[in-house]
A and B are shown apart, each in its own frame.
Chain A
Amino acid sequence: DVKVTQSSRYLVKRTGEKVFLECVQDMDHENMFWYRQDPGLGLRLIYFSYDVKMKEKGDIPEGYSVSREKKERFSLILESASTNQTSMYLCASSPYLRAYNEQFFGPGTRLTVL
């Protein structure tokens, strides 16, 4: 079974802090994604990566950055956390970009910024 793990299930940070959310997948998938999930807004794509050291902006990249130094790991960085970044963050992975494949999601990290 594909397993996508996220470093924390719950996280509480203060405004202005630098926040790292880590995601690891164990199925050698090329693609990795970061979404945020807010009530009534569905899943909104923040960034995705289709290869090591490659990244593409999603629909809402402002205030976020990402890092992919190894194929299995994709990190989401909030350079200076703000209260409007309080949300559920979901990481996902999928096989090769140009094949139409399902995405495998982690359990999510619920981030609260005070």
Chain B
Amino acid sequence: GENVEQHPSTLSVQEGDSAVIKCTYSDSASNYFPWYKQELGKGPQLIIDIRSNVGEKKDQRIAVTLNKTAKHFSLHITETQPEDSAVYFCAALGANAGKSTFGDGTTLTVKP
């Protein structure tokens, strides 16, 4: 089955700096890669996603890049703010659509 590895497990940055979280996947048939943000006391919520026919997608301060050959994708947050502090999960959705495999999560702390 699919295996998703996510790094780093914790990340601390100063407000205004950039943050990068990386994920690798194993199943070359995977073709949908969402990123979720989980704030304290809440369920995860989608913040950005990318499909395999696209190499990069951007939404304001958030961007995701995908390298299908290397089977890795990354989340980039620029100009970080304290409200970006949360746990971030990557996921990969394979050929057996509907069932996602999640990374272990990254706890991002943005220091004011």
Contact = CB atoms under 8 A, between A and B. Distances in A.
Interface in A57-114: 58-59, 90, 92, 94, 97-100, 102-103, 105-108
A97 B89 contact: no
A42 B49 CA distance: 18
A106 B45 CA distance: 9
Contacts of B1: 59
B86 to A, nearest CB: 13
Given A100-B93, A102-B46, A105-B43, A45 B34 contact: no
Nearest to A103: B100
B102 interface: yes
A4 interface: yes
Contacts of B102: 35, 42-44
Nearest to B43: A105
Contact of B97 (A44, A99, A108): A99
B99 A45 contact: yes
Interface residues of B, number: 26
A56 B6 CA distance: 26
Contacts of B9: 40
A48 interface: yes
Contacts of A105: 36, 43-45
A98 B99 contact: no
A35 B46 CA distance: 16
Contact of A31 (B6, B36, B98): B98
B44 A42 contact: no
Nearest to A98: B97
Given A90-B44, A105-B44, A107-B41, A100 B104 contact: no
6 contacts: A50-B98, A58-B99, A100-B31, A105-B36, A105-B44, A107-B41
Given A94-B98, A98-B97, A100-B97, 19 more contacts: A35-B102, A40-B9, A40-B105, A42-B103, A42-B104, A43-B102, A43-B105, A44-B102, A45-B99, A50-B98, A56-B99, A97-B97, A98-B98, A100-B32, A102-B34, A105-B44, A105-B45, A107-B41, A108-B43
